[in-house]
Structure 1
């Protein structure tokens, strides 16, 4: 009884404070077009997001090309690294086994990426390149090992011949293990050389060889992304120009793509990963294929002749910039050129004769100052001359305000770039206060690409509070779709045991995936974007923080649906009347489909133990004529879809 009285008092108290509000949606005032690619994803190889994550290879340092070539491996017996007469010219290191009958045996164990994940009854494709100098057949034993050193899978490979050849087998796991290893043992006395030792789950995304981790790609697919920005991010810059991301190194046979040091291996001393390298097994060809699979527009980023300005002062002189510019031009040809062109031929030979239909390219990442602008000018001139229809994305620096930002935006307008990439990593409070950021932007200049953003709450957790702040901010992006044309959260992926940065949209370990509340906000936007903006107001003003409420509205002209997004960032229930002004024939069946994201505690997160704590719920409510009522709890994000009779 006391509980019931308390609830009634709470509702009455809430209504007294916040009152009854009426949101008005003017459905006859169709506004700016919402770009089909508006809501997308940005991928950077941070937090072991590629090797150890999206890229399904399970063996770390498979070609022995890390600075310390046995990183990831534990050798036993007589095992050494050589590079004379190698199998691959761009990955010259290989390992020589010399079995001499010692009790220890001769072989290697690999630890994977903080362990190797095996699933019971699943199969794994193992391979290596090998030769035996004496031409006498040698037998290798391959074992899957669990965290207690038990063998949970075994196979054998016979190697013969003095020339390098590829050998493979399939191994079935008899148990599930999240932090296993793999062991290779030479059983036959003598010498054998091995290189590019590889292990993939048999089941990858679309079961492609050299494939991607299926559950992670499924999570990306469910986001319904309109654009896919890749491969960075700061790895484009590199800590040095030598370690910058070079897209041409990611093409061709995977075993001969050179290994590169990661930008993120020692950037944060408290999250130090000296074993973080890029195999480039996930390269530009695979990125473009993934864009095609996801139905997303590709947006590649290229280096502009500058290393990371936070880490280095390296700068390519303007007179030496030609190779960098040519890389950008060649990338466009790789994506769009005919199979008879130099780089279109490379794409066709890799298996995709049809063009990837690239429309946009970004020059630089978070560069700033005059040294960026004067290099960008040269890229723009060359691209406009050769590919006038390609849209160019320039940058506004690493932060959303301040001297760097204020200098760059007028320059981007002067240079007439098509879009300006803005980045914001700020508190939830900043996102709430800046939901009107674009209401007064210049409509005659370049468009905006919100290329990297995330609300950083206390401890940088992916909690509901941060997700709601992002949802509120995104109502402002949608309301201003005439100026904001692309938006991508960052970072995308993070390995539970090997991350450098948080928050992140999707967390994973070696066996499972956790979709965060921030993920679900992105998904709810991308799956409910509409085609055109509609005005939605409270007391004739955009709904942008009044009593902690935020809203945007759109129409999908293809389906004749009205789509409303409402955020209640307060802790209390709010009562709202929603009126569809100009609706003459009513809502079809008076039914409104509703998707909600809500929890009473904004500090809650989804965890590996409880991954479904905060997930969207689906229901429907009834309308009366052109109106419906809403009692909206605190800490909630709602999306409404209603089909109208035109």
Structure 2
């Protein structure tokens, strides 16, 4: 009993002591300012995050450049893949459709990304580059097909002449369906070549034709991010150096940006996506634009000459690293350079003569060990020499603790990354 009484007395004393220390927080009077760059968003092209996600294109494999060129498509009738006298030199494949007069006619269906999602009353902009070797004009029927195989909308466009031309028509969907398809039928007997077959919602973010999904971009805007890191993490490295993300392939005319294999297509053996590639329609220019729209500081990340160290672990020798370093310097020029500079002109020609005011750049993703440090040091010296006001972002490895972290943290300080 005495023990219980003593315990109660001690508990009461501690309780009274705790009551005497009351902290009052007035949230209307902040005592410290947090830099907006301390929080933000990080985009990774995983789980169809770009093509089939944020990027509003609804057609999969629109230029027939996948290793199996009919992935995403169901051709019917006489349809073949060609590459003679192409419309685009870096995307040389196109389809030749021949209507030989049979009742089946000839054409293609596209499945989109696990289906083409359309909403009743919404408008969608269809476009195609086409030509015909025949003397007479040819008619194409552009159709939206619902998941019950009913083609409830048809619009006709005419192809004439043997020079490539861009044709466009707006489709207003009469139905809502998450698993619709796009169908293109050659109605006239004869031959038509087609390339870069595209379908975009008219209502994209900011109304841009090569735009982003309005709902997803709005959701990012509502987060009010201070910084926007792009275009990814592991896709920067690639499963191999050949499949690393190369920013120069992602700028210029969207129709001529070459296809890249997405490193997430076979990474998870239990969940393979053999149809996962990057058209790069959502490229560095579009990421910079989105950063500007969001009011966030852009943080582009580029390859440091190392492929994924968990996978192939390819390494660019130090005496062959200069082209990779030059890519970093050229990216800064693309973002900030005057319109009279080589890469500043590319930006201006894409519609943004004003600089993007890039302040920082990431070198490598979650790399580690001495092989990363010596390459990062070479990048940092070159960037400091030409662009002393641009901050360099390094890496403390793939985790927030452990031997890799313990080695890299003091190395980042030694090199002087920001």
For the aligned pair, the TM-score class normalised by the smaller chain equals over 0.9
CA contact (8 A) 1:154 1:172 kept: no
Residue 280 of structure 1 aligns to a residue whose secondary structure is coil
Structure 2 residue 153 is matched with structure 1 residue 146: no
C-alpha distance in structure 2 between counterparts of 1:309 and 1:301, whole Å: 17
Query: 1-side partners of 2:136 and 2:322: how far apart?
Result: 52
Cα distance change, pair 30–108 in 1 and its aligned pair in 2 (3 A): closer
Q: Gaps (5+ residues) in structure 2?
A: 1-14
Call closer, same or farther: CA 1:382–1:120 in 2, change over 3 Å: same
Deviation, structure 1 residue 24? 4.3
Contact 1:69-1:81 at 8 Å conserved across structures:
yes
Instruction: Indicate conservation of the 8 Å contact 1:266/1:273, yes or no.
Output: yes
Q: Shift in Å at residue 134 of structure 1?
A: 2.4
Correspondence for 1:407: 407
- Displacement, 1:19? 8.4
SS at match of 2:80: strand
Q: Which position in structure 2 is the counterpart of 1:343?
A: 343
Residues 125 and 201, structure 2, Cα contact 8 Å, conserved in 1? yes
User: Using a 3 Å threshold, how does the CA distance of structure 1 residues 21 and 103 change in structure 2: closer, same or farther?
Assistant: farther
Secondary structure (helix, strand or coil) at the match of 2:316 reads coil
Tell me the distance in 1 between the aligned counterparts of 2:70 and 2:315.
33
Deviation at 1:292, TM superposition (A): 0.6
1:105 deviation in Å? Answer: 1.9
Alpha-carbon RMSD: 1.9
Question: What's the secondary structure of 2:98's corresponding residue?
Answer: strand
Matches within 5 A, 1:43-62: 43-62=43-62
Q: Output aligned runs, 1:112-131, within 5 Å.
A: 112-131=112-131
TM-score, with normalisation over the residues of structure 2? 0.93
| Distance in 2 separating the partners of 1:30 and 1:194 | 60
Partner SS state of residue 181, structure 2: strand
Q: Which residue of 2 aligns with 1:200?
A: 200
Contact 2:111 2:181 in 1 (8 A): yes
Alpha-carbon distance in structure 2 between the residues aligned to 1:32 and 1:320: 47
Q: Deviations over 1:245-297 (max 9, x none)?
A: 00010111110011111111110011111000111111111111111111000
Deviations 1:330-358 (A, max 9, x none): 00011111111111111111111111000
**Residue in 2 aligned with 1:71?**
71
In 2, Cα distance between equivalents of 1:182 and 1:397: 44
CA distance in structure 2 between the partners assigned to 1:371 and 1:358 by the alignment: 27
Distance 2:381 2:32 in 1: 30
**2:352 aligned partner:** 352
Matched residues in 2 for 1:352 and 1:411: separation? Answer: 38
In 1, are the aligned partners of 2:58 and 2:116 still within 8 Å (CA)?
yes
1:333 aligns with 2:367: no
Once the 2 structures are TM-superposed, how far is the Cα of residue 102 of structure 1 from its aligned partner? 2.1
Match of 1:248 in 2: 248
Find the aligned partners of 1:88 and 1:112 in 2 and give their Cα distance. 22
What is aligned with 2:388? 388
Shift of 1:39: 1.8
The answer (yes or no) to whether the contact 1:142–1:183 under 8 Å persists in 2 is yes
Query: Per the alignment, in what secondary structure is the counterpart of residue 331 of structure 1?
Result: helix
Partner residue, 1:581 = none
Which residue in the other structure is 1:572 paired with? none
Partner Cα distance (1:141, 1:25) in 2: 67
Match of 1:81 in 2: 81
In structure 2, the residue matched to 1:183 is 183
Q: Higher strand share goes to which structure? A: 1
Does 2:124 align with 1:96?
no
Higher relative contact order (CA 8 A, sep 6+): 1
SS at match of 2:23: strand
- State the partner residue of 1:318: 318
Rounded to whole Å, the distance in 2 between the matches of 1:266 and 1:386 is 39
In 1, Cα distance between equivalents of 2:136 and 2:172:
29
Aligned residue in 1 for 2:229: 229
Q: Distance in 1 between matches of 2:184 and 2:199?
A: 12
The alpha-carbon deviation at position 214 of structure 1 amounts to 0.3
Q: Which moved more, 1:122-131 or 1:35-44?
A: 35-44
| Contact preservation (8 Å) 1:338, 1:345 | yes
Within 5 Å, which residues of 2 pair with 1:342-491? 342-418=342-418
SS at structure 2 position matched to 1:37: helix
Query: Residues 98 and 191 of structure 2 are in contact (CA less than 8 Å); yes or no, is this contact kept in structure 1?
Result: yes
Distance in 1 (alpha carbons) for counterparts of 2:105 and 2:23: 75
SS in 2 for 1:193: strand
Aligned position for 1:548 = none
Structure 1 unpaired stretches of 5+:
1-14, 419-646
Residues 36 and 225 in structure 2, CA contact (< 8 A), matched pair in contact too: no
CA distance in 1, matches of 2:221, 2:286: 15
Shift of 1:401: 1.1
Indicate the residue corresponding to 1:220 in structure 2: 220
Contact 2:98/2:106, CA 8 A, preserved across alignment: yes
Counterpart Cα distance in 2 of 1:325 and 1:31: 42
Question: What's the offset of the Cα at 1:26?
Answer: 8.8
Task: Report how many aligned residue pairs link the two structures.
Answer: 403
**SS at structure 2 position matched to 1:328:** helix
Query: Following the alignment from structure 1 to structure 2, what is the Cα–Cα distance between the partners of residues 337 and 346?
Result: 10
Partners of 1:381 and 1:32 in 2: CA distance? 34
> What is aligned with 1:501?
none
Alignment of 1:560-639 (within 5 A): none
Give the equivalent residue in structure 2 for 1:295: 295
**CA offset at residue 153 of structure 1?**
1.9
Q: Are 1:267 and 2:276 matched, yes or no? A: no
Aligned-partner Cα distance in 2 for 1:36–1:403: 30
1:59 CA displacement: 0.2
Following TM superposition, by how much is the alpha carbon of 1:154 offset from its aligned partner in structure 2, in angstroms?
Answer: 1.5
Q: 1:248 to 1:20 in 2, by over 3 A?
A: farther
Q: Which residue of 2 aligns with 1:305?
A: 305
